Structures are given as structure tokens and as C-alpha cells.
Amino acid sequence: MKIAVLHGPNLNRLGRREPHIYGTATLKDLERLIRAEAKRLGVRVVFFQSNHEGALIDRIHALADAGIGGFIVNFGAYSHTSIALHDALKSVAPLPAVEVHLSDIKKREPFRRRSMTARACVTMISGQGFAGYAAALQLLAKPLSSTR
Ligand code: DQA
């Protein structure tokens, strides 16, 4: 079973981007951690990062058509605004998606407190840093591995 991890805009800047909020570890470090957790759980993972809304939408459709088992998504700022990404996740239902935010969006600026895209996800994990991705993988791996 394969899970796709989608990183949205500016997440390629992890490690250098507002380190007081997001820390000093990089996207590569994050993907290493996710890969290790995937190995432990016996699932496969693929990664995709884009700063472009349409590229993320195209990848969601393509992965779904190619038989992906579910998604872990952090659409960055698009989470708060993108009806198109919300609809893209809906368009591949019933494939499950778990939304992750490194920071606790409920405790930040008012414009971050609501997630549009989380409405199309089974749940949202926010404010746990990198550990949130491991938790998301565990959630998605559970129902999948029980059907293997
Ligand atoms: C983020 C939170 C968003 O508000 C922000 O735009 C990001 C990162 C997070 O992981 O905490 O790019 O999604």
C-alpha cells in the first residue's frame, strides 16, 4: 500500500524559513523521518512538493488514477484559501486524506485559524511539528494494513 505526502508552497524552504516557527530541520529531514516511519509500519510513501496550486491538483488526480491508497497533505497557505484543492480531494473520494500543519494554526494569526482543505480530510493534525506526519501515517496505515 502506498501513501502520497504532498507538500504545498514554501515548504521547500523548511530549515531556512521562519525557523522560530517551523524549526531548523529541512524538507529532506522531514521526508527521511516519514520514510523511516513508513518502513516501520510496512507502507510505501511517495513525496511531491509544489508551490503551484494547479500542480498539486494535477498530482492528486494522477496519483488517484495510479492507485494511491491515501494522502497526507500540508498545502501550506493554500489550506486556508483553496476551494480548488478542497474539491480536488473530494474528486478522488473515497480516498482518505489527513491534513498536517507543523505549527498550531489555531493559535496563530486569525487568517490561519480556519482550514478550507481540512474539510475534505478525515482529520487534521496541527502543532505537532514533524511528529504530526508520523501520526498521520499511523492513522492511514491502520485501516490499510488491516485489509492486507
Ligand atoms: C503551515 C501553516 C500555514 O498557515 C502556512 O501558510 C504554512 C505552513 C504549517 O505547516 O504550519 O505554509 O501549513
Q: Is 22 a catalytic residue?
A: yes
Segment 127-141, tens digit of pLDDT: 999 999 999 999 999
Output the pTM of the full model: 0.96
What is the Cα 113 distance to its own chain's centre? 17
**Residues 89, 92, 96, 100: what is their CA dihedral angle, to the nearest 10 degrees?**
-20
Identify the CATH number of the domain in which residue 39 sits.
3.40.50.9100
- CA dist 136 and 28 (Å) reads 18
Please give the distance, rounded to the nearest whole angstrom, from the Cα atom of residue 2 to the centre of ligand 1. 25
How big, in percent rounded to 5, are the helix, strand and coil portions of the chain? 50, 20, 30
Greatest Cα pair distance in the chain:
43
Segment 80-95, tens digit of pLDDT: 999 999 999 999 999 9
76 lines ligand 1 (CB under 6 A): yes
For the chain, what is the domain count? 1
Identify the domain containing residue 134 by its residue range: 2-146
74 lines ligand 1 (CB under 6 A): yes
The catalytic position among 7, 86, 101, 133 is 101
Q: Is 101 a catalytic residue?
A: yes
